[in-house]
Amino acid sequence: MSEEPLIIRIRDLHKVYHVGEVDVPALRGVNLDVKRGEFLAVVGPSGSGKSTMFHIVGGLTPPTSGSVLVNGKDVARMSDAERTEMRKREVGFVFQKYNLLPTLSAYDNIAIARHIARGSPEPDGDFRQILELLGIAHRLHHKPGALSGGEQQRVAIARALVNHPAILLADEPTGNLDSRNSEAVLSLLRDLNQRIGQTILMITHNPEAAAYAHRIVHMRDGRIVDA
Amino acid sequence: MMLTVVGLSEGMLEDSARRARGAGADIWIRPPGSAAIGLSSAPMPEKILEFFRQQPHVVIATGSVVHPIGGVNTVTGLDFEEFSRMSGGFRFLEGGPFEGPDDIIVDERYARQENVHAGDTIRIMNRDWHVRAVVEPGKLARLIVPLRTLQELTGNTGKLTQAYLKLDDPTNTDKVIQSLKAQLKDYQIYSIEEFTSLFSVSNVPGLRAFIHVIIGLSVVVGFLVVFLSLYTAVLERTREVGILKSLGASPAYILNILLRETALLTLAGSVLGIVLTFGTRWAVMTFIPASLTQKTVPEWWPIATGIALAGALIGAAYPGWKAARQDAIEALAYE
């Protein structure tokens, strides 16, 4: 085991969904360590539990049992308000369908994330560098409908990074993109990881996308089957 | 709706007061048991005018019969000569004074609304009237017929609805009123200032209650419209709410956005409503100037805006709360 500090430490994580009167276990004892600055890909078929783990790590839903330390804080012990607070600063989400607000410009989509977290919509100075890296500085005043899928996903990445989160959580970030744009977005994620040391946890079906990561873990039936 | 109803109420009362002042009388007298403002028929004996004429300082004593002809419209029977002397005379735009018992004089607003001119025949109270003249508005009534004709038509021969006194000097008004009140205990006797001051919302039976009902309806309608609109909007924006939640937006932040949006739309709607009252005023004054008069009521603008805002915010509260409590994962999965 490396001496580098862990940014995610998951132990015996269980999550059970109640569907009517039936209990559906989504996670059955997940254990996982992610080092600060690591680019990790989680690969698995549908229903393997990878999205559930993604949602728990991101503070979108609480676990049923187990512990999930994110940047030293246990998500399992957090209240709704504390998880909301965590989403502001500790994690940034990138979704398969971009999830940009359609009525706002690209800039305002980024600014609102800043406003929610810091109360001011203005990004700080070094964020300009990230925009240059993402190659969208000249497209910021367009609305999502006027941007290509690749551009929208890059805006979504910028939005996820505007508050300098400890972890970037990417859920199938290339799922809606063609191969050229997929390659561009994956290269960007790798660059962000290498240049600014951004920790990235990426969920994907695609082995080629997973190959961009430092490490790949496989999930099946709510468990990690290799690491 | 609220501003239009209030504007119509106040406008019509003001117009009535203006026309009452145009009669030129110093004292108005209405029979015992009658309301100051109303469309009662004629229970006052005409002979009482002789009594008034014998009172000190009274220069002219005349009377009228007022008969309702539907809605708020009335026809007024006058002694043309006496009334002209008291009021300073009508200003004729077309035609001239009465010549026969079937003559009718209409004011310019009525003529414009009904498109009638001197020489035309109009039918009122199941009877054809010969339009003798069109006069400038502002002299007591819009439709004026000879007093005797209206008394006979309404079965009030020898009776009056109200009497008007012109004094030698208006400064004697209080003295004459005190004297008359001492002699005619049950009669309603007013100076012109006192009489016109009675043309207010609170002095018309049921009008204040009616305005309150309209305000209540406005609040309920505003509440329902905002509630349903926002409920639909929240459903349509489920995914957007999920996105905001994924960014760390708290329930209070989301509720705040929705309430601010509601407040902004309500303020914009209030401005639009105020602009629309100018439209309804123009329509009233253009198409039915004789039947209705609408006043612009700026003092009601903040009241109406406040009431609309309260209704809208109450209507927005539940959909806003529902949006704020949405599960982030379910909201993000919403198509």
Angle, alpha carbons B151-B152-B154 (nearest 5°): 70
What is residue B9's predicted lDDT score, i.e. its pLDDT?
81
3-state secondary structure of B305: helix
For residue B64, what are the CA distances in angstroms to A151, A156, B22, B61, B82?
Answer: 84, 82, 14, 11, 11
Which pLDDT band holds residue B42 (cuts at 50, 70, 90)?
low
Residues in B touching A58 (Cβ below 8 Å): 246
Contact B247 A55 (CB under 8 A): no
Contact B246 A85 (CB under 8 A): no
Q: What is the mean pLDDT of residues B292-316?
A: 84
Averaged pLDDT score across all residues of chain B: 86
On whether any CB of chain B is under 8 Å from the CB of A49, the answer is no
CA B210, CA A156: separation in Å to the nearest integer? 56
Helices (H), chain B: 2-22, 48-53, 80-87, 108-114, 147-153, 173-183, 192-197, 207-236, 238-246, 251-287, 301-324, 328-333
C-beta of residue B186 within 8 angstroms of C-beta of residue B48: no
Q: What is the mean pLDDT of residues A8-20?
A: 93
Residues in chain A, overall count = 227
β-bridge pairing A91-94 and B188-191 = unpaired
What is residue B313's predicted lDDT score, i.e. its pLDDT?
85
Res B330 pLDDT > 50: yes
Res B36 pLDDT > 70: no
Contact A84 B246 (CB under 8 A): no
Write down the ipTM of this complex.
0.90
Rounded percentage of chain B residues whose pLDDT exceeds 70 = 96
Residues in A touching B331 (Cβ below 8 Å): none
Chain segment B198-256, per-residue pLDDT in tens: 777 777 777 778 888 888 887 788 778 877 887 887 778 888 999 999 999 999 999 99
On whether any CB of chain B is under 8 Å from the CB of A176, the answer is no
Contact A87 B250 (CB under 8 A): no
Q: Which of B239, B250, B329 sits opposite A60 (nearest CB)?
A: B329
Res A1 pLDDT > 70: no
What is residue B315's predicted lDDT score, i.e. its pLDDT?
83
Closest chain B C-alpha to A3 CA, distance in angstroms: 32
Closest chain B C-alpha to A50 CA, distance in angstroms: 14
Chain A residue whose CA is closest to B325: A80
What is residue B74's predicted lDDT score, i.e. its pLDDT?
87
Contact residues for A226 (Cβ-Cβ < 8 A; gap 6+): A217, A218
Contact A101 B246 (CB under 8 A): no
Contact A99 B249 (CB under 8 A): no
Averaged pLDDT score across all residues of chain A: 91
Chain B residue whose CA is closest to A111: B247
Chain segment A210-224, per-residue pLDDT in tens: 999 999 999 999 999
What is residue B35's predicted lDDT score, i.e. its pLDDT?
63
On whether any CB of chain B is under 8 Å from the CB of A58, the answer is yes
Which candidate in B241, B244, B246, B261 is best for mutational testing of the A interface (most A CBs within 10 A)?
A: B246
On whether any CB of chain A is under 8 Å from the CB of B233, the answer is no
What is residue B40's predicted lDDT score, i.e. its pLDDT?
56
